[in-house]
Chain A
């Protein structure tokens, strides 16, 4: 197989959720001298991008998205030792579920989507104190703050996160999401964007950073 064929099959195998095949082909590609960065940029990433597209189109759902992300990450781990300094990211995102809220699944899936779409993620976890979002944004030199609230009672904390970030880092981009969060709250809270699911979150941040 030519290099481009190998890379194309890697991508197709990501889409087909064929974990052993992806890992085996990734090793073979590296052994055969294909540039490590090409394995990621021309094999794995196009596959993951297509998975995201299928998710947006309602062909794939959370189970498929999660399995594809795991496959992608496992393959990237194989490639990483060969990369040297060649890794470039699209940006850094500070993510967390706000104070008083212990829901982590949605936030974890959003984190996975960012990681598999070329972003570095600083995951603050759940029940994150309001001030920590802005503090970690500044300390890590991040590009975006993403805050999630999953229950109505923690919406006030989400509003305070946005205000605190605005006060400490006026130019920060702020993304909000979560079950009771609606697009209308973007204007009300003063954030920059809303996302209803993980892929939408990536698209929103892509747009914010390219604006």
Chain B
């Protein structure tokens, strides 16, 4: 089989099986930027399932991304609890910090599991998944993102107060985590019923910039294990994502487990080089990255090709690597650099057949 013969789905399946595909797969993680495909505003795109799906499909057409994303923002689970959202024309939506749902530690105990199919923002995301899977699911896998339960609580309470509650009121936080985890699991199962085969879980709090590993795992370790097990049981590929430079990678691999793909923002502290990272973790999961998103907004096409080539040399040997940014593609970045990622895979990322 020659370069480019595989469909995206075949390419991803091969990598996940531990085989070498025709070439290195590329996940551009384009989301906000896809609004330019149809010339709509950010706010318009994320308030319409049809627009969101159309933007994503047009992006995949143009760039050749190896996955489609059924995703609006990191707040859909929190919105289902009743969190108010503020939509903007040219930036992502944000939660209304003047009217937080959890106003005191006692309010954690008022959280109740809800029907995800009836929650507006989740139902809209499920509709996006439906459209993407029906339109192109036979050749391109559909992915979605679910939030780390502590992140959902942070949105409902306000991050600073939530972090302080983790120390002052751990039992209240744990009660909230129980409820949120149930909701996230329900959401993940609903996504897989709509054809989503890749679920990304963002460990935003699981790093040294936020809290200690002991506190993070002590509060939430059981919840993350339960969540990941349920995602795998539903038949999805699990991608663990961490935006920070110092993630608790060994906790993610050893103590929580179940992951198929790992995406981190920077070289973990336990590794000297990317080749070392590949050697240490590459046999345990497919590695995904390693473009720091601001760099994709700052350099030119040729530089993207050159750096991608180096990443492929360091990380793609024998398969087990997906090229892409370590977080969302810059929403105001140059579109040509997303194309450069795919071009780099075609030029430098082919595997011998």
0/1 interface trace, chain A 102-123, chain B, CB 8 Å (1 if under): 1011001100000000000000
CB–CB B160/A108 < 8 A: yes
Least CB separation from A101: chain B residue: B91
By a CB distance below 8 angstroms, the chain B residues around A155 are 294
Inter-chain CA distance A208–B305, complex, in Å, is 40
Q: Is B297 an interface residue (CB 8 A)?
A: yes
CB–CB B160/A66 < 8 A: yes
Inter-chain CA distance A43–B25, complex, in Å, is 58
- The interface stretch among B104-112, B205-213, B314-322 is B205-213
B residues with CB within 8 A of A: 88, 90-91, 94, 97, 159-160, 163-164, 166-168, 208-212, 215, 293-294, 297, 330-333
CB–CB A64/B297 < 8 A: no
15 A-B pairs (CB sep. < 8 Å): A61-B211, A62-B209, A63-B164, A63-B166, A67-B164, A70-B164, A100-B91, A102-B94, A105-B160, A151-B331, A152-B332, A153-B331, A180-B293, A180-B294, A197-B209
Residue from B208, B294, B331, B333 within 8 A of A61 (CB atoms): B208
CB–CB B210/A62 < 8 A: yes
**Known contacts A108-B160, A152-B294, A152-B297; is A58 also within 8 Å of B208 by CB?**
yes
- The tally of residues in A whose CB lies under 8 Å from a CB in B reads 22
Q: Is A17 an interface residue (CB 8 A)?
A: yes
Main secondary structure of the interface of A (DSSP, over half): helix
A residues with CB within 8 A of B: 17, 58, 61-64, 66-67, 70, 100, 102, 104-105, 108-109, 151-153, 155, 180, 182, 197
CB–CB A62/B163 < 8 A: yes
By a CB distance below 8 angstroms, the chain A residues around B94 are 102
Inter-chain CA distance A48–B105, complex, in Å, is 25
CB–CB B330/A63 < 8 A: no
Residue from A64, A102, A108 within 8 A of B91 (CB atoms): A102
By a CB distance below 8 angstroms, the chain A residues around B209 are 62, 197
CB–CB B159/A63 < 8 A: no
By a CB distance below 8 angstroms, the chain A residues around B211 are 61-63
Least CB separation from B327: chain A residue: A179
Inter-chain CA distance A70–B215, complex, in Å, is 19
Inter-chain CA distance A201–B38, complex, in Å, is 42
Inter-chain CA distance A62–B207, complex, in Å, is 11
By a CB distance below 8 angstroms, the chain B residues around A152 are 293-294, 297, 330, 332-333
Interchain residue pairs A-B with the least CB separation, the first 10: A153-B332, A180-B294, A63-B163, A152-B330, A61-B211, A152-B297, A152-B294, A63-B167, A105-B159, A66-B164
